[in-house]
Amino acid sequence: MTKRGVRFECSLLAGLALTGLALTPSATATEKVAISIDASKAGVQINRNIFGQFAEHLGHGIYDGIWVGPDSTIPNTRGIRNDVVAALKAIKVPNVRWPGGCFADEYHWRKGVGIQRTVSLNPNWGGVTETNTFGTHEFMDFVDQIGSDVYVSINVGSGTPQEAAEWLEYMTTAQPTTLEKERAANGHPAPYKISMLGIGNESWDCGGNMTPEYYLSQMKIYSRFVRNFNPAQQDKEQMLKIAVGPGGDEPRWTDWTETVMKAYQQHTWSWDINGLSMHSYTVGHWPPSYASVGFGETEYSQILKHTLEMDALISKHSAIMDKYDPQKRVALIIDEWGAWYAPLPGSNPGFLVQQNTLRDAILAALNLNIFARHADRVRGANIAQMINVLQAMIMTDKEKMVLSPTYYIFKMYVPFQDSTFLPVQFNSGTYSHDGISLPRVDAIAAEGKDGKLWVAFTNLDPNEAVEIELNVTGVTAKSTSGETLTASKVDSTNSFDAPNIVVPKPISAKAQGGKLTLKLDPKSVSVVSVE
Ligand code: AHR
């Protein structure tokens, strides 16, 4: 994982440039911010896969978070929590990456199929026992229940091409092989569909500490032999093969991107990739030491400054990819991102438990906006992680469940899934605190699949409201309606006892002479449709 955010000396201009073409630092607290959208200048598709999730065998991410077992008193369907499934269906999760993370490079799929499961260990994450009760069939059932696609990461670090090839045959073949019969006997005669295949995870680090050249030689072998046999998935675009990519902007990672992409440019019929993974967490300092709750404006502005560095990181690696793949055939898939803070006091440090606050909701919106502005190259992303781990959507404690502020951002942004990007012009203004300067406002716009114009605004300033004057070229806007998310403090959170502290509320705008004015509360994210 990258330790993004260790540099505090980034200049204001560099920081502002990160957020895209539209931002310049000149508005003041009292000024209105004029935002114009030209609806005739439709850009590329904002791929729904940028709203992907990540579920690793880590802490309570799978066990307790998803899986409680069929005999549990917690309402479940075949062992999978009904409350969690309902919550995830509402945010239309496009894909779930599983089983890791670092765990993937120690995962042996055979331990997790059949009646007799092997109890093993999870040395990466707390050294706890892994019952393998949640294996291939349970994961597929879960993904099916939430209506999502499958993103499986295969074991390159401690597995073999044969093991991975047999897992794919087990999951996908419709022909009467021994593995097909075993899958049918285990309850699933029909082949599974796999939309994305990760070839290793962080192979430069927990995935085996490989050099880029060594990884490349391994990746070609896995790309060649790990086949999807599902008759309905014979077009190679139907299962995207994702190679391990960079984890930051240091030379070792720019070298990594160079090595893989240079090879891709010369690739032959016998191997191929459709995506390059990138991991980038907002950490602040390594090891993670920022508190996830109980912080003030200084930590709020520092963390947001770090998170905005995502834009420069994407630009840097996209530029390398452009050299070798100007047609942008290979997607950049940010399949681990989000805030990584100090473990909550009293929790197992190996379980990566942290709180989720309004700051995280704003952080999520800023990153989704960055991904949308890079939609030509960034066609997938997976926030880490879905339940009970890091910047989670959902927290559970036995029968209790609570939805985090970040969950609500993913819910509010649903209209952006597979929408068409529209350029937005505005002067962001500047919010400054304690030597940190940030854009005050951020915004993206898109034409949704529903044909409506959708705009997302973020007011980063925790103290001042902002008045937006919205002008849509070629459209006489009559009204807007949507939702806004804010709370009284930057570290406001939802808890099991008080689950509705940070929840979206309706927002609407007045129309005058074809222009709309909208007041954004301090420290808020709003998503509206314009009629
Ligand atoms: O998300 C936690 C861990 O962070 C993942 O297992 C690993 O890929 C990354 O370093």
Between CA 497 and CA 402 the distance in angstroms is 9
Whether the predicted pLDDT of 313 surpasses 60: yes
Pocket residue to mutate for ligand 1, from 60, 105, 202, most atoms within 8 A of Cβ: 202
Query: Residue with the nearest Cα to atom 8 of ligand 1?
Result: 101
| Residue 446: closest CA among 371, 362, 355, 524 | 371
Q: For 264-281, what is the mean pLDDT?
A: 97
Q: What is the pTM of this model?
A: 0.94
Tens-digit pLDDT profile for residues 376-428:
999 999 999 999 999 999 999 999 999 999 999 999 999 999 999 999 999 99
**pLDDT higher for 225 or 5?**
225
Whether the predicted pLDDT of 324 surpasses 90: yes
Could you give the percent of the chain with pLDDT greater than 90? Answer: 89
Distance 102 CA to ligand 1 centre (A): 6
Query: Residue with the nearest Cα to atom 6 of ligand 1?
Result: 101
DSSP label at 434?
Answer: T
**Cα angle, residue 385 at apex, residues 379 and 390 outer, rounded to 5°:** 130
Judged by DSSP in three states, 214 sits in: helix
| Residue 287: closest CA among 250, 340, 240 | 340
Q: For 67-95, what is the mean pLDDT?
A: 98
User: What is the position in ligand 1's atom list of the atom closest to the CA of 1?
Assistant: 10
Q: Is 202 a catalytic residue?
A: yes
Catalytic residue among 106, 138, 169, 202: 202
User: What is the position in ligand 1's atom list of the atom closest to the CA of 102?
Assistant: 6
Judged by DSSP in three states, 362 sits in: helix
Q: How far is CA 36 from CA 242, 353, 439, 475, in A?
A: 37, 41, 17, 11
Query: Residue with the nearest Cα to atom 10 of ligand 1?
Result: 1
- Token reading at 453: 């114009």
**pLDDT higher for 367 or 28?**
367
Query: Residue with the nearest Cα to atom 9 of ligand 1?
Result: 1
Tens-digit pLDDT profile for residues 186-210:
999 999 999 999 999 999 999 999 9
What pLDDT score does 14 carry?
Answer: 30
Pocket residue to mutate for ligand 1, from 53, 130, 206, 352, most atoms within 8 A of Cβ: 206
CB 114 within 8 A of CB 136: no
What pLDDT score does 31 carry?
Answer: 63
pLDDT classification of 306: cutoffs 50, 70, 90: very high
What pLDDT score does 7 carry?
Answer: 24
Q: For 92-112, what is the mean pLDDT?
A: 98
User: What is the position in ligand 1's atom list of the atom closest to the CA of 385?
Assistant: 1
User: What is the position in ligand 1's atom list of the atom closest to the CA of 202?
Assistant: 8
Distance 159 CA to ligand 1 centre (A): 18
Whether the predicted pLDDT of 53 surpasses 70: yes
**Cα angle, residue 215 at apex, residues 209 and 220 outer, rounded to 5°:** 160
pLDDT classification of 160: cutoffs 50, 70, 90: very high
β 275-282/3-4 pair status: parallel
pLDDT classification of 217: cutoffs 50, 70, 90: very high
78 contacts: CB under 8 Å, gap ≥ 6: 70, 138, 141
Pocket residue to mutate for ligand 1, from 281, 336, 340, 389, most atoms within 8 A of Cβ: 336
Pocket residue to mutate for ligand 1, from 3, 56, 385, most atoms within 8 A of Cβ: 56
Q: For 432-436, what is the mean pLDDT?
A: 97
Whether the predicted pLDDT of 375 surpasses 70: yes
Whether the predicted pLDDT of 231 surpasses 70: yes
Q: For 424-440, what is the mean pLDDT?
A: 96
Pocket of ligand 1 (CB under 6 A): 1, 56, 100-102, 201-202, 206, 336, 384-385, 390
What pLDDT score does 146 carry?
Answer: 98
Q: Is 336 a catalytic residue?
A: yes
First to last CA, the chain: 42
pLDDT classification of 266: cutoffs 50, 70, 90: very high
Whether the predicted pLDDT of 26 surpasses 90: no
For residue 336, the surrounding DSSP H or E stretch is strand 331-339
Average pLDDT, the chain: 93
- Which phi-psi region, left, alpha or beta, contains residue 243 (left: φ > 0; alpha: ψ -120 to 50)? beta
Query: Residue with the nearest Cα to atom 5 of ligand 1?
Result: 101
pLDDT classification of 51: cutoffs 50, 70, 90: very high
- 64-84: b (≥16 Cβ within 10 Å) or e: bbbbbeeeeebebeebbbebb
Query: Residue with the nearest Cα to atom 7 of ligand 1?
Result: 101
pLDDT classification of 20: cutoffs 50, 70, 90: very low
Whether the predicted pLDDT of 172 surpasses 70: yes
Tens-digit pLDDT profile for residues 463-482:
999 999 999 987 778 888 89
User: What is the position in ligand 1's atom list of the atom closest to the CA of 125?
Assistant: 6
